[in-house]
Structure 1
């Protein structure tokens, strides 16, 4: 029986969600968003272009700005990272046995 992998669904970087859903809903220029977050425009663009991850500090900033808390942003990043890592490990991960406690 084939194992179902986490990467069966396309991994979604939290920057994509910010770019496609959150920022358009806020209706503010990206430069203003960066200023309100206390980060450079380049840092914001790197996140939106999926070149940088959402760190704990960034999750706190975005969570405060959006009012949804940092956990959602950290969980999105964690899920993305796990899917990418599982894809990269592929068969090597399958070769690792599962040990049971005696």
Structure 2
């Protein structure tokens, strides 16, 4: 089975920056306050310099009403896509279980 890389991995910060926050009529400072985080931490996520941790996923999920799983799954999918593009596995064999 081959992996399809036609869909670009999207950092959750991009989703927040491009789609979610423009629809929310609050300043970034007000959002950071509501989340209980510093403005810098929010900016680092929005600018894709920091990942969305499990704790941040819980915060975003509560604030935005869509639950933490969306945010943690976006981060996981992004991290996996980045790793698959960077890690050379050509020298690693694939083991197969022996059958009797």
Kindly report which structure 2 residues correspond to 1:1-102, keeping only aligned pairs within 5 A, or say none.
4-5=2-3, 7-89=5-87, 92-102=88-98
Work out the number of aligned pairs and report it. Answer: 98
Secondary structure of 1:32's counterpart equals helix
Alpha-carbon RMSD? 1.4
Unaligned runs of at least 5 residues, structure 1: none
> Which runs of structure 1 show a deviation greater than 4 angstroms over 4 or more consecutive aligned residues?
none
Higher relative contact order (CA 8 A, sep 6+): 1
TM-score of the superposition, structure 1-length normalised? 0.89
Quick check: which one's helix share is greater? 1
Consecutive unaligned residues of structure 2, counting only runs of 5 or more, are none
CA distance in 2: counterparts of 1:44 and 1:38, whole angstroms:
10
Can you list the C-alpha shifts for 1:3-22, whole angstroms capped at 9, x where unaligned? 74454432210000000011
When normalised by structure 2's length, the TM-score is: 0.90
Partner Cα distance (2:97, 2:85) in 1 = 28
